[in-house]
Amino acid sequence: MALENLNKWAFFYFSPDFSPEENTVINKNKAGTCEFITVGFDPKAKEDGSIIEIAKKLKEQGVQFIELCGGFGPTWTTKINEALNYEIPVGAVTYGPEFRKQLYDIMK
């Protein structure tokens, strides 16, 4: 995908007491040709199926790829890719092992 073909993408992240209903933000460039959607989830969303539902909805709405915060990890990256039949790229931000304890302490 050439950068000029990028017109809609999303980023999913975790934060306590966040929800897609309350914490979805859509940003557009000045020309209105590129849309960036951020969707916040409470970490407990891993238990209720809403992550997969939102990913499917965004794909249907034309999102070209989804990037996940590091809190999703490889298991959820795979789950979302499988749920979307690998039709759009889904990838994750990762942190090196030197930061895992710090992140764990923040997110527990």
What pLDDT score was predicted for residue 2? 53
Please tell me whether residue 3 adopts helix, strand or coil conformation: helix
Strands 66-68 and 90-92: parallel
What pLDDT, on the 0 to 100 scale, is given for residue 65? Answer: 97
Domains of the chain listed by start with CATH number? 3-107 (3.40.50)
Unique residue bearing structure tokens 């007491």: 17
Give the per-residue pLDDT at 22.
97
Helix, coil or strand: residue 66: strand
Continuous segment of H or E residues that includes residue 37: strand 35-41
Task: Please give the Cα distance from 51 to 65 (Å, whole number).
Answer: 15
The tens place of each residue's pLDDT in the chain, 108 residues long, gives 555 689 999 999 999 999 999 999 999 999 999 999 999 999 999 999 899 999 999 999 999 999 999 889 899 999 999 999 999 999 999 888 888 788 778 776
